[in-house]
Chain A
Amino acid sequence: MSLKIKALTKSIWVFHLAASPCNNCDIEILDLLTPRYDVERFGIQLVGSVRHADAILVTGSMNRKARQRLKRVIAQAAKPCFVIAIGNCSCSMEMFANSYNQMECLDNVSEVHAYIAGCPPKPEAMIQGVVALIQAQLAALKK
């Protein structure tokens, strides 16, 4: 397992999982791939299938319908796989916490490895979040 995690930190392929978001975090994720931020130079790439992914970027506050699909998609991912909560909605449900169509927070459904707060988080914040996640994983391996 430790070797796998070490390999994961080299070039992270991410899968974007939108669970009833407002689209803003999703756009900022796509923004990361475009010329100004261009995270592909770090080997971070958006992939089409969750089975290829090393990390899942979850946005949005997860309604009743999206929740079941989200559970299944996360279960389909090859393990070990990091789950990163992007934006206030997936971190804490934000202002949708009281809605009749929301059930629970993301961390009740799956283990979350990194929280990136903001509404939406700036692309720089997302890069920093992923860097912090890699550093934390490497530090844990050294122990």
Chain B
Amino acid sequence: MTPNRTQIIPIGPYHPLQEEPEFFKLHVEGEKVVKLDIEIGYNHRGIEKLAEGLTYDQVPFLVERVCGICSTSHPFACVNAIEDVGGFDIPERAKYIRTFVGELERIHSHLLWLGLAGHFLGYNTVWMWAWKYREPVLDCFELLTGNRNHYAMFKPGGVRRDFEDEDLPTAMRILDGLERPLLMFAKIAMADPVLQARLKNVGVLTYEDCVELGALGPTSRASGVPWDVRRDHPYAAYDLVEWDVVTTENGDVFDKVVVRVLEMLESVKICKQCLEKLREVRDGIDANYKEIPPGEGIGHHEAPRGEVFHYVRSDGSNRPIRYKIRAPSFMNVPTNNRAVVGYTVSDATITLAAIDPCYCCTERTIVVDADSGKQLMGWKELLRLSQEKTRKLMEKYKSRMDRVWI
């Protein structure tokens, strides 16, 4: 009998490299990775189901908490979907504010990723520098929206809070101050011999792989697939400002760094144009829609990681009857199977991180019988679980419930 030469290296679920719980099983032969198993599910919170119990005004708050890093992307797609149900239009000022918040978030998210990538490589200087320059961005958020993360700016029909005129020069100054460090990062990425040696031709994802697996965002743009929903299906003010879609050709981790750094410079450009426009455009921030008609709606937003897609079905009441989210990592995580396999274990972490995975966006529940491959837990079972829990809670809080209802 020949001995099994494949060994398994587990990474996770609680691993110091990961900020979220997820589990990778690397099957290795010597140094080389031959197979990858990805196990997720540590983050599933049942947000789609929870959304059905909330009113349209509350849903943006809930989907904001799908993910903390792209905490504008989900509400952005959500309000786009809800407005799509009724075909609503929103004031121009609200459009610029939305675009500004969305783009500023891209800067903070990409800087965050750049820092973490440096950390994964053992290049902690990059981590510290990137996060140092991320702080002014968060200050800008705190100044304009009132919170460093989870801005709660979006509502169906507009935005919740207006930008004050006297805050705009400060925001402009912060954006001006960002350009120099961003150019510095671009220069570092291009010229640093260590980064070149570590990242060039590592984790290559070809154009065909991207198209076949439906990779989104910077992951696909680094392989030369010019998909960007901001340009292909414009919403908010993206068709009112000037900017370019950044693509590169090689599809390795190095190119993903380059795409993200250049995208940040584009975002700064968009943010500045929005601020200029906000000085002139004053047509209110809220269209004040009261009723959502029956029907279906879809909403997109190009999140820092790729296209976020939301679907909502309304029956004319004040709550959605079905809510569906598709996050970009859901499409990007399977590309790891192509990008990691064939490279060494030491390259695995940076390749896994290169798609900027966000597992709290991605988690789905599906229970499958391993032998027959049949789905065991469908929508009905989930509904039953949910209702059972409410019943249990009702028993537990019986004494308090009486007080509430009387």
Contact = CB atoms under 8 A, between A and B. Distances in A.
A30 B50 CA distance: 29
Contact of B131 (A24, A34, A102): A34
Interface in B324-352: none
A96 B45 contact: yes
A49 B15 CA distance: 8
Contacts of B360: 20-23
Interface in B375-406: 382, 385-386, 389-390, 393
A95 to B, nearest CB: 6
B61 A23 contact: no
Contacts of B16: 46-49
A100 B69 contact: no
Interface in A17-70: 17-28, 30-31, 34-36, 46-50, 60-61, 63, 65-66, 69
B13 interface: yes
A49 B68 CA distance: 25
Interface in A69-99: 69, 73, 94-96, 98-99
A21 B22 CA distance: 12
A120 interface: yes
B45 A69 contact: no
Contacts of B385: 100
A27 B68 contact: yes
A34 B43 CA distance: 26
B14 A34 contact: no
B67 A23 contact: yes
B45 A34 contact: no
A27 B112 contact: yes
A101 interface: yes
Interface SS of chain B = loop
Given A27-B68, A100-B385, A100-B386, A35 B44 contact: no
Interface in B166-195: none
Contacts of A26: 19-20, 68
Contacts of A30: 19, 131
B365 interface: yes
Interface residues of A, number: 41
A42 B224 CA distance: 47
B50 A27 contact: no
Interface in B254-298: none
A119 interface: yes
Contacts of B393: 98
Contacts of A66: 13, 21, 42-43
B71 interface: yes
Contact of B45 (A18, A24, A50, A101): A101
B14 to A, nearest CB: 6
A113 interface: no
Max chain B Cβ within 10 angstroms of own Cβ: one of A24, A28, A101? A101
Given A17-B14, A22-B65, A24-B69, A99 B45 contact: yes
A35 B240 CA distance: 37
Contacts, number: 126
A120 B49 contact: no
Contacts of B149: 24, 27-28, 120
B150 to A, nearest CB: 6
Interface in B51-87: 53, 61-62, 65-69, 71
A63 B43 CA distance: 7
B131 A98 contact: no
Contacts of A16: 19
Max chain A Cβ within 10 angstroms of own Cβ: one of B18, B42, B127? B42
B42 A99 contact: no
Contacts of B50: 95-96, 98-99
Nearest to A38: B128
A43 B132 CA distance: 20
B135 interface: yes
23 contacts: A18-B18, A23-B19, A23-B358, A24-B68, A24-B69, A24-B149, A25-B68, A27-B19, A27-B69, A30-B131, A35-B131, A35-B132, A36-B135, A60-B43, A65-B42, A69-B13, A69-B14, A98-B50, A100-B49, A100-B386, A101-B46, A102-B45, A102-B46
Interface of A: 16-28, 30-31, 34-36, 46-50, 60-61, 63, 65-66, 69, 73, 94-96, 98-102, 119-120, 122
Given A16-B19, A20-B360, 15 more contacts: A19-B21, A20-B45, A23-B67, A23-B69, A24-B68, A35-B132, A35-B135, A48-B16, A50-B14, A61-B45, A66-B43, A69-B42, A96-B50, A98-B389, A119-B150
Interface of B: 13-14, 16, 18-21, 41-47, 49-50, 53, 61-62, 65-69, 71, 112, 115, 127-128, 131-132, 135, 148-150, 358, 360, 365, 382, 385-386, 389-390, 393
